Amino acid sequence: MRRLLPRTLRARLICGLVVLLAVSCAAVGIAAVLTLRSFLTDRLDQQLTQAGGTFPASLEHRGPGEPDADNAHVDTRRQAPGTFGARLLHGKVTAAGIVRSGADTSVTLTAGDKAAIAAVPVDGRSHRLELSALDDYLVKAVDGDDGDVLVTGLPLSGVEDAVTRLVAVEGAVFGGALLVAGAAGAFWVRWSLRPLRRVTATAASVTALPLASGEVALPDRVPDTDPRTEVGQVGIALNRMLGHVENALGRRHASEERLRRFAADASHELRTPVAAIRGHAELARLHPEPVPPGVARALERITAESVRMGGMVDDLLLLARLDAGRPLARDPVDLTRLVLDAVDDARATGPDHRWVLDLPEAPITTTGDPLRLQQITGNLLANAHQHTPAGTRVTVRLRQDRASTRLVVEDDGPGIPADILDTVFERFARADHTRPGAQGHGAGLGLAIVQAVATAHGGTAEVRSWPGRTSFTVTLPGRRPGAGRRPGAG
């Protein structure tokens, strides 16, 4: 039943209007039918009262079932056609007849008909009587002068015919009225709901905006703001909400811009002192004079941490530049060669893992920034090495079609916990290093750079993981015509 019910407000209003009108028409029609039936029945009752027992009294010289031999003294001129009469003596029908257009008044009654006539109470009131040989009758029984009972009846067929014609007329009139009212109601409801459609259009345009990123220009406000109407009240509330949202988005954008500038400026400024610290540490380690072991160890740690800090500063600066929309290089890139070099580097740094290549025979070439695409591959392989135990199988797969180029890095490690799976591409997102296979203590920027670089190239980065399998997929736009051929190829 729920599937058959209208869902939209306009359909519900139209259906409600038509149903209410149909109920009203039905109520009026039923009242008219009952009133007409009651009126015509009362008229028949009055006619029966006026007729009294005249017609059945004139039948007393003819027995039941006998031929109408004495019609000479049966006067039917003052009786309405179809009038029925019966005379009863000691509870038995002794004579019965019906007024017809001719002189014949005979009627054949069954035993059931005679019993039904005998059961009519002599109370001066009209009763409905059904005779098998005749139509339904409204009859009245009165006492005769000879101790008999005289029953007079008038047919109800006229009443039923009039009621039937009234029902037919009502059906035609009310049906036409419902059709006209439905069409007019649909037009009126549609016209009345125009302000609500404008509110809906404004809300829909807001939902289509990328509110989660960048500077957003909200659409024009709802013009319907009459507080005397319900739609106007909704429009006022929506406009007020849009104002608050626009203010909040503006403040957020300004805050993000300040944060980006700070990250870019801080990263740029930190590169010089970090490089200086690293240079002085390496210079001290190269000093020809003997250095105490503790000092040598400290210099090694200073060099290592300065290298790590320099990489972190470079990552922050890259993310800040990508957030600012800095354009990337658009050069032909041989992804096959890039993946081969990245896997060779991964094998050198992670010999305890099994590195597997799944590459097509033909080289895959795309258009993009070679350094950044190399950074994507390196970060994904480094992530697989750091967060999986020794002996893990890591498969690097590369595929390309006309629509896209896909780089997949898949491992059979313990998987990513479900509670952090949705945040792995966020900045400074770090997994729980207490789980088996976790190594190192990265800053949590590697996967964020992967997603940012993929987005800057017009692609996407996705992850799927469950125990025993983790798959990172970077999808880049399909190659342009002519891509895939090496420079100088014929």
pLDDT tens digit string along 301-322?
A: 887 777 777 777 777 777 777 7
Using DSSP's 3-state secondary structure scheme, residue 100 falls into coil
Non-local (6+) Cβ contacts of 205 within 8 A are 219
* Least confident among 43-57, 304-318, 320-334, 398-412: 304-318
Residue of 235 and 129 predicted with greater confidence: 129
How much is the pLDDT for 268? 64
Residue 471 has pLDDT above 70, yes or no: yes
Per-residue model confidence (pLDDT) at position 215: 60
**Average pLDDT, rounded, for the chain:** 80
Q: In what order do the strands lie in the sheet with 127-130?
A: 92-98, 84-89, 149-155, 136-143, 127-130
Query: How far is residue 60 from each of residues 47, 146, 153, 155, measured CA to CA in Å?
Result: 22, 10, 16, 22
Q: Are 124 and 143 within 8 A, CB to CB?
A: no
How far the first Cα of the chain sits from its last, in Å, is: 69
> With contact defined as beta carbons under 8 Å apart, do 136 and 49 qualify?
no
pLDDT digits (tens, 9 = 90+) for 15-36: 888 888 899 999 999 999 999 9
Vertex 329, ends 323 and 332: CA angle to 5°?
Answer: 140
- Cβ-contact 24, 33 below 8 angstroms: no
Matching residue, tokens 């190594």: 439
pLDDT at 240: 82
3-class state of residue 141 by DSSP: strand
Rounded to whole angstroms, the Cα distance separating 475 from 455 reads 9
Alpha-carbon span 89 to 61, nearest angstrom: 13
CB 97 within 8 A of CB 153: no
| H-helix segments, 324-418 | 335-349, 370-386
